[in-house]
Structures are given as C-alpha cells and as structure tokens.
Amino acid sequence: MILSPSALHRILLIIISLACLTTNSRAATTQKRYYAYHAVQDRYGVIAPWYNRQNGLCDFRVRIAAETLKRYPWVDTSKAISPAPHYVYNGAWSISDDGKITIPPVKREWMNGDQGQRAAYVLAGLIDYYRYSGDPAAIAHISILADVLIDHCQTGDDHPWPKFLISAPVNGKTYDKCDPHGFIQLDIVAQVGLEMIRAYELTGNERWLNVAKHWGDLFAEKRSRQPDLPPWNRYANPQDVYWYDGQTGGISLILLFLDELIRVGYTGKDNQLVQTRDAGREYLSALLERWTVHDTFARHYWDWDHSMQGELTTEATAKYLMDNKDYFENWRSDARNVISIFLNHTSANTKSNGDVYHGAWAYPESAGCCGRSLWYAPLQVGTVFAQYGVLADSEWGREMARRQFILANYDCHETGVVEDNIDGGQIVAGAWFKIAHPMALKHVLAVMGWLPEIFGANRENHIMRSSSVVNSVVYGKDKITYSTFDAPANTIDVLRLAFAPDSITADGKTLTRREDLQDTGYIVKNLKNGDCIISIRHDGSRSIVVQGKDPQEQLGGENLTYTGDWTRTKHNNNHWTHNSSSSGAAMTYSFVGNQVRLIGSVDPTGGLADVYVDDVKQLVGIDCWSPTPRYQQVLYYKNGLDNARHTLKIVVRGEKNLLSQGDNIYINAIQHSAATGNGGFGEGGGPTDVQRFIFGYTGRKDYVDSVGNAWKPGTEFVIRTRQGDTVVASWWTNRKRWHIADTKDPELYRYGIHGRQLNVYFTVAPGTYYVKLKFAETRNIEPKKRAITIHINDKKVVANMDIAATAGGLSKTTLAQRHGRSRPDWIGLNKAVDLVFNDILPHHGIIDIRFTGSNGGEAIIQAIEVGPGNGGKGATPVSLPSTGQEKKKQ
C-alpha cells in the first residue's frame, strides 16, 4: 500500500509516539482507547460496543458509509471525461472534522492504481446495501460507476487482451481514459467482473453482463494449458510490470467471477468457461497443499510485489471453499487453516503489534503493511470467520467474528471521519477513500447477514442475506415485498423483522412454516426483544411477500404538511406522490419515535433536496435521480434517535446532479416507529468445547490421536519476527524426532514452535478451564539455553523449567548437581512430558499462554489442550538453579 507524503508523515509521528510508550512484555493487551472511542468492556472483560443506540453498532456503520458515498462531491466535464462523483476516478480524499469532503490534487497518476479495487468494493457494497435498505441511490451510483468502467477503462481492440479492464491504471491521466500500460492485474479484473454481473442481476442492464461475458471469454482463451504452470499469471501485460508476475491465491477471485458467469447461464464457446473454471479449481487445490507458505495467499495488492499472505486473498479463498463444499470435501479444515494462519502471519510485524485486544484479534492487511492500522483487515477476514461459524456450526468462528467486528467498528464518527489507527488517529483511512468506507460497507453488511441475531438493527425490518441478488424491495407497513434475480435449488433469504410473519408467499403461493429448511418454506427464530429472524427457502420462485403486524407507523403523502409549490401524481403501480421542483418548497412532519424513513420515487428527472432532523441540517440530502424509475423506495432514513418527539423536514433545492434531466422531488409516505428493545450484542459468547492444537503441524486434516481426539494445526499464536514469515522463523514443520518416549501419540510431540517469546491464545466462553501443555525436548543444547518460563493470563506458573529434566524425573537437587556441565545433559531428551494447570479463568475472554526463553535461549511448545473442568494431574516442573540473570529478564 503506497501512502501519500502526508500519510507517511502521520505514520512517522505515530511510530515515534509509540516508541515513547512503556512497553508491555505481554502480547495480549487492553487499551483505554481503540480507534475513535474509549474502550467499553462487557461483564466478562471482553470488548463491547461503544455505540449504545437501539439500531446497533453495525447498522450505524452501514448508514455512515452509505451516506458518505451519497454525499460525495462530483466532478464535471471541465475536469473529467464524464460527470460523476470524484471517487469514480480518484481514490484520494480528505475529510474535515465536521464532515466536509475535499479532493486533494492528483500529484502522481500512480495513486489511481486502486481504481479496480475501489470500483469492486463500491459496487459490491451498494448492491448489498440496496437489499438491506431499499435505498435507490445505490442503483444510481452503481450505474454511474459501471458505465465509466466500460466507456473509459478498457484496452483497445488492438490489445492482446482486447476490450479488457485496465484494473490498476497507474499510467495515464486521472479523470481521463485509462492507459493500457497501467497494470492489468487479472484477479482485480475478476473482482470487478463479479460485481458487474451482480449489478446486472440487480438492474437488468445487459450491457454490464455482456462486458463480463467478454472478459470471461478472454480468461478462457488466454489460460495456460501447460501442466506445471498456473492457468494464468498475475497480469495481462507483464511486460509493463516490474515485479514478479506469478498468480497465487488471487486465483480464488477469478474462480468466483467464473462461477457467477456460469450461474447466469453463460458457459462460453464449447463450454470453455466450465473447463477453465475446473482448471482453476485444480490449481487452487494444489495451492492448499502448501497453505502455510507465506506466498500462497499473496500477490493481490496492485502497488507492491505483495509476496506475503494478504487479507483479500485469504477472505476470497476461504469464501470460495465454503461456497463450493461439494467440490472441496476438506473445506472445514482448509478454510479454518487459511483464515487462522493469517492471524499468525500478519501479527509478526513489530511495528503493527497485531494481537488480541480486550479478547478481539486486531491485525494489519499483511506482515508488510501498514503500521498500527489494525482495522480493515479484521473487517475483511472477519466476514469469513462469521460464514465459517454458520456453515461449520463453529462457535469459535462466530465468536472470532463477533469480537473482531465490535472492535473494528470503533472506527467511525457520525461525520464520516474514520480513525484506523488502533491508538487513535488516521493512517490509511485519511488518505484512501476505498478503505475508509466502501470496504467497510461491503464487509459490515456481510457479517450482519451471517450473524443477524447479534448485529442486526433492533426493531427494524431488513433483508439481511440472500443467496441470490435482491433486485427489487419495498419495505412497506405490515408488508415487505421483494424479488430476487433467480431462485435455483436451495435459495435461502434471511430477514430480521420487528414482527412475526402471519404469512409468506412465493410467486403467490403460500409457504409452510417448518422446523428446518430441507424443503421450501420458512422458519422463525424469536428474539428476546420482539424481533424475529426469518429464513425463507423459495426454490424456483422469485417474488416474495412477507406480511404481519408491524409496530411501525406509516402516513401517506396526503397527511404530511407542505409549503410552497407541490403537485400530486398517480403512478402506474397505483400509488401517489407529491412532487416539487420549486426551490424552497418544503415538507414537514413531526412524529414520536426512534427512527424515521422517507418513502418516495426516483427517475431520470429527479432532483436534489436538503434534509433537516429537529432543525439540524443533515450532512446527506436526497437525490431523486436514477437512470430508471423506482417507486416506494427509501429516500432517506435516520435511526438511533432518542425515543421522543422529532421533526423531519425536506427542503427542495430546485437543483439537480450533473446527469439528471430535471430537478423533481417525489414524496410518497413517511414511516416511523417508537418500538423499543435491544437484542444484545452476543455478550458471553465463545467456545466451551475442548480445543487441541499441534504446533508446527502442517497437515491439511486434523490429526486424530490414539483415543480418537482431533488435533488442529496450532496457528493462533503471536511471535514477532523481522522477516515477517512466522512459519520460517518459528515453526518446526518437519518432524524433529521420529522416536518420542513415554507416549502413545508421538506425533503430538514431533513438531513444535520456538522463539524468544511465544504467545498462544485460546478464545473461550466464560467458565473454568484446564490447560495441558505437551513438551518434548528435542534440542541437543546446553540446559540453561533450553530453560523456559511460562505465564498463563499474565500469572507466572513455571519459572526457568528444564523440559528434559522434567521429563526425565530428575529432582531439583540432582539437577542442581548436574548444572553447569560443559556438555549437554541427555537425561529426559526426546521424552514426552505434560504439564497440567487447573482452575484457569479466562482473562478478557481468552486464555493467554506465554512462553519465554529464560536465559537468552528460545522457548518451545509442541501441543496444547484447553478444555472445561479439570484436566487431571501433570508432571511436576523441574527448574534450573537460578543465576540471577533470568530474574532481570522476567
């Protein structure tokens, strides 16, 4: 990630300030402040939301991100090739404390290289935002962006990859046509292509689908058929790129794109797309065999070689495995391995100190970037933790996602200012708009969809998730009507509603309430605050109507108060709107409640209006422009209000955006609600089952011991290492010894990790646990160099222990007599020994086990088991005689 000079200056100041802080020998830590707010913890000491309004932390973040996109300043044809919001052309931005957005001068065309990534996030976030909110502004912005990409960001007909997206236009002139000598990075093309297809599924605009089809055909045509090479390299124009052009984990983005083309029924000439997709799957399967290698899920960012595991390729790979469980039979282990080793890899950075904070993991985008900006990677990777939690029924996955998203969403102010430095302030988000809001919009909506009970807005109505694209939605009083692009087998939508449904129909046919979704129908989960989670399966049917008694109120436009020049119009779908294009004309309505929505229409002649809530002008207004008409849509909403009397006022500006053919405002109704209730934020969550890790073990499948217990590769630990590759630096991935004495399961003791300090974290629910540590001293070194000290939750439980002496059963007296010999002591080497500690209480929702080399040597650990209750009795640790030096180091 290349940063602007001002951003680099801020990073330098932050690093200097951090260097002045008192260091903490512990890795897991707590802070008084995270990002933009003071820390809040729940009764168990785990991170809790700073935001306590009824709609909830994630809904707040979604609204601010969407509003920031909607109010972004535009550029006209005096500067740009086509009028559009500045973010369409330029990724740089600046925002003042009061929320005013300005666009800094473009000093280097290189800085526009994130255009493809930026476009993909904007499209993806807005497609899902329309489903969630019913706000048609999403469709307007999608249309502008998609058309600019097609018209101005493709190669020429004479290019080796003709009419192909220039995904990282680092050359050429910003706000103009993209230069084909920019970086044409294939996985980013696919990332954009996927969202172009989904934009077609939302709007029906076949132009966008046809472009995606053409890109897919080029992927099929250009793929390598050579068995020892990947199907594609990294670039369509490697001659213009000055670093390694290999394709690694980005293959998952290409596969997601090809799968979506196949889903819409396009398989290319002679079924070439299916064959191409299958070749890509084979390559991904081969990559999974080397899942611990830093470079395997790397090389996605456009502005550096990026030879280390990154957050987007990690997310995309795990998502692809879970989306294609039938093909990837080992998906449970593979997905978990890929996402969990990212914690280990990326937390190596000594400048970032990626770690566990108040029980939540926070980490940078990779081990090579970006200082203390520990915010956007958890947003991205946290989505697949949540998806894994649901699909694998893993409380570990759900809780990892829950905590990470609560902590990451400490970032945003009502004004749209984002603080991504975990200590407060801006590092990346102050310079790169893509990261500040479009990324957040996409990922927060995704985690809300997977965890609607925890993160959904209380006492509101939203479609949280759909296995198709929702292309039309009307959030009405007592009735929600929506349609999906398609409905193949096992099409499931998840809604969170403020009411229980009385009936649900699909294509006019009544669906049956069921206990599960083995067939079409729906299930209802009641929440303690009166809300319901509704899961609907509607294979073969696209139009859904949900009806019930909704606590919100709705008043038609005829019941509102108007001043100035307004007219009333009846539309084809038998509803009325009040219309005005007269500057200063106003609509006013007072209500009692904690949320309000303005319902209206949009079309090609729509104009602009300002919004006031309780006489305070809002940062975002209304734009009724859309390239195609939409009716009974949510033009504006505000929630999280005090449950009291409020006034909503709309003032017509008599102005339009640069693409509109008119300046009309269309008002249909007002919705508001005084319903109260909070469903909670998942407090007290976490795994309670036994967790077993073998460290250094690289097997793709769990190891099953002699009594049938499964042991996973141990990845959830932190070691700081300058080279950034924790596996190379600290994992013994090859068996250190074949023979391990005194155990029926030598495989548990043959690998291990090593380092001056190792911090292993177990995410757990409240309760009492045991910790069982498994050691085998496989090093032939002098005893004082192999001594270790162990802390559990910052309490010293073992000091200066000699593993071999402990395994060999030496007494402290005998060890003291043998201490100081010139040659290593052989007694107890390569012998299994277990330490057991009972009555362990979680500290801030985790069990933190720290291993430290006592006398300047390295600590080691082979395997750990943590579980509820009592773990029995282990060996008695035998400590080396004190030299006084280790006391100074502890």
Q: Which helix (H) or strand (E) holds 688?
A: none
For strands 586-602 and 665-673, give the pairing.
antiparallel
Owner of token pair 């590769």: 713
pLDDT band at residue 17 under the 50/70/90 scheme: very low
Q: Do 372 and 421 meet the contact criterion of CB atoms below 8 Å apart?
A: yes
- pLDDT, residue 880, reads 86
Residue 740 has pLDDT above 60, yes or no: yes
- Structure confidence by residue, pLDDT tens digits, 439-483: 999 999 999 999 999 999 999 999 999 999 999 999 999 999 999
Mean pLDDT of 745-751: 97
- Hey, what are 459's tokens? 């006492």
Sign of CA dihedral 7, 8, 9, 10: positive
| Mean pLDDT of the 368-391 span | 96
Q: Give the rounded distance of the alpha carbon of 496 from its chain centre.
A: 21
273 has pLDDT over 90: yes
Residue 794: other Cβ atoms inside 10 A = 13
pLDDT at 416: 98
- Strands (E) across 603-721 are located at 608-613, 616-617, 622-623, 630-652, 665-673, 691-695, 703-704, 710-714, 717-718
Q: Using alpha carbons, list the distances in angstroms from residue 570 to 313, 585, 666.
A: 50, 20, 11
pLDDT at 816: 63
Mean pLDDT, the chain, integer: 93
Contact present, 144 and 88 (Cβ < 8 Å): yes
- What is the model's pLDDT at position 809? 81
Phi, psi angle pair for 646, to nearest 5°: -135, 165
415 class by beta-carbon count within 10 Å (0-12 exposed, 13-18 middle, 19+ buried): middle
Share above pLDDT 70 across residues of the chain, in percent, rounded to a whole number: 94
Residue 612: pLDDT over 60? yes
pLDDT at 634: 98
What is the per-residue pLDDT for 773? Answer: 98
What are the b/e assignments for 331-351, b being 16+ CB within 10 Å? Answer: bbbbbbbbbbbbbbbbbbbeb
* Phi and psi angles of residue 265, each rounded to the nearest 5 degrees, phi first: 95, 10
Query: Which one-letter amino acid corresponds to residue 584?
Result: G
Tell me the pLDDT tens digit for each residue of 73-132.
Answer: 999 999 999 999 999 999 999 999 999 999 998 877 888 899 999 999 999 999 999 999
Q: In this predicted model, what pLDDT tens digit does every residue of 529-567 receive, in sequence order?
A: 999 999 999 999 999 999 999 999 999 999 999 999 999
pLDDT at residue number 19: 36
Residue 3 has a pLDDT of 43
Indicate whether 493 pLDDT > 50.
yes
Contacts of 235 (CB under 8 A, 6+ apart): 183, 184, 185, 186, 241, 245
In this prediction, residue 5 carries a pLDDT of 35
Q: Let me know how long the chain is.
A: 890
Backbone phi, then psi, for 480, in 5-degree steps?
-115, 125
Is the pLDDT at 385 greater than 90, yes or no? yes
Confidence of residue 824 (pLDDT cuts 50, 70, 90): low
Q: Mind listing the pLDDT tens digit for each residue in 866-880? A: 999 999 999 999 998
Contact between residue 855 and residue 885 where contact means Cβ atoms under 8 Å apart: yes
Residue 812 has what pLDDT?
63
Check whether 665 has a pLDDT greater than 50.
yes
Q: What is the pLDDT of residue 763?
A: 98
Query: Are the C-beta atoms of residues 364 and 354 closer than 8 Å to each other?
Result: yes
Q: Is a pLDDT exceeding 80 seen at residue 304?
A: yes
Report the alpha-carbon distance of residue 788 to residue 786 in Å, rounded: 6
| pLDDT the model gives residue 227 | 85
pLDDT at residue 18 is higher than 50: no
Instruction: State the pLDDT at residue 22.
Output: 30
Q: What is the pLDDT of residues 468-480, one digit of tens each?
A: 999 999 999 999 9
Check if the beta carbon of residue 755 is closer than 8 Å to that of residue 375: no
Quick one: CA torsion of 596, 624, 620, 464, rounded to 10 degrees? 60
Q: What is the mean pLDDT of residues 612-639?
A: 98
- Give the global pTM: 0.95
CA 528, distance to chain mean position in Å, is: 27
- Report the alpha-carbon distance of residue 658 to residue 564 in Å, rounded: 25
Per-residue model confidence (pLDDT) at position 676 = 97
Bridge-based pairing state of the strands 691-695 and 710-714: parallel
Q: Is 686 left (phi over 0), alpha (psi -120 to 50) or beta?
A: left
Beta bridge partners of 555: 670
pLDDT in tens, 220-260: 999 999 988 899 999 999 999 999 999 999 999 999 999 99
How many Å apart are CA 380 and CA 455, to the nearest integer? 16
Contacts of 326 (CB under 8 A, 6+ apart): none
Q: What's the count of helices (H) and strands (E) in the chain, helices before strands?
A: 20, 40
* pLDDT higher than 80, residue 819: no
User: pLDDT tens digit string along 312-331?
Assistant: 999 999 999 999 999 999 99
- Distance between CA atoms of 1 and 311, rounded to whole angstroms? 13
Residue 26 has pLDDT above 60, yes or no: no
pLDDT score recorded for residue 724: 77
Q: What digits encode the pLDDT tens for the residues 710-736?
A: 999 999 999 998 767 999 999 999 999
Angle at 200 between CA 196 and CA 205, to 5 degrees: 115
Task: Give the model's pLDDT for residue 15.
Answer: 40
